[in-house]
Amino acid sequence: MNRNTSMVTLYIGLLGLVTLAFGLADILAWAGMIQSVSIGVLEIAGDDFFRWAWGGAVMVFGGLFMLGSLMSPGTMERSAKAILGAIMVWIIAGTDIFARLCESIPAGEEAPEFFNSVAGFIGGFAPPYSAAVLLLPFTLVIVYFLFNRKSDEA
């Protein structure tokens, strides 16, 4: 195993653990077993079954896929599981961002106008963010690693 491969393995393993931990935190916050979390730019509100319990389960699956990729036989299956894990995080982060976009376009019930102002629209994307959104750039690194390795092999 060369140094490059072990670095990728370590990275995916760590990211898998963090994703799994955040997924569990989402579910536990929804179940009321831990307090809702708001640290810096991170927020786990746990106030809605669909987002935190179901979405948390998707994050847990994402983490498990990434960790499972470390134990998979063959390079292709390993890469596929790591990508699938990343896709799980993209699904949650993507839907969170889409939800913010949908909330930010209209002006709101009380305002007389239909569309939000530019400042209001941009303000809709201000922190805090969910764990999935914060993990999004880190999962993109997996894709970079895999494509990099593919081009090395070619």
Partner 1 sequence: MALPVQERWDLVDAIARKTVTAGIYRQNLGDVLGDLTVRPLTGIAVAVAVLYAFWSIFSSFAGTLVTDGFMVKAFDDYWLPWLQEVWPDPASIHYFLFVGDPLAENCFEAFGMLTSGLFVSIGVVLPAVLIFYLMMTILEDSGYLPRLAVLMDTVFHRIGLHGYAIVPTILGLGCNVPAVTATRVLETRKQRFIMMTLLAIFIPCGAQLGVMLEVIPDAVGWVMLFLLFGFGIFGFVLDRIIPGSNPEILIDVPPYHWPLWKNVAKKLVNRTKSFLKDAVPFVLFGVLAVNVLYLAGVIGALADLFEPLFVTWFGVPKETVGPLIAAFLRKDLAVAQLSAIAMTPYQMITAVVLVSIYFPCVATFVVMLREGWKELAAAVAVLAATVFVYGGLIHAVGILMGVA
| CB 28, min distance to partner 1, A | 18
Q: Cβ–Cβ contacts within 10 Å for residue 101, how many?
A: 12
Q: In whole angstroms, how close is the CB of 72 to partner 1 at the nearest point?
A: 10
**Angle in degrees, CA 30, 33, 39, rounded to 5:** 70
Which run of H or E residues covers position 86? helix 75-104
Taking the least distance from each CB to partner 1, the nearer of 13 and 94 is 94
Nearer to partner 1, 3 or 150 (CB): 150
How wide is the angle at C-alpha 133 spanned by C-alphas 7 and 29, nearest 5°? Answer: 105
> What is the smallest separation between the CB atom of 10 and partner 1, expressed in angstroms?
22
Token look-up 């914060």 returns 134
Distance in Å, CB of 114 to partner 1, minimum? 6
Residue ranges in contact with partner 1 by CB under 8 A? 49-51, 54-55, 57-58, 61, 64-65, 76-77, 79-81, 83-84, 87-88, 91-92, 94-95, 98-99, 101-103, 105-106, 109, 114
Cα separation, 92 vs 151, whole angstroms: 29
Q: Which is nearer to partner 1, 94 or 128 (CB)?
A: 94
Q: How far is the CB of 105 from partner 1 (least distance, A)?
A: 6
Instruction: Give the separation between CA 90 and CA 98, rounded to whole angstroms.
Output: 11
Q: Considering only CA atoms, which of 110, 109, 105 is closest in space to residue 121?
A: 105
Identity of the residue, 3 or 145, whose beta carbon is nearer to partner 1 in the bound complex: 145
Nearer to partner 1, 28 or 83 (CB): 83
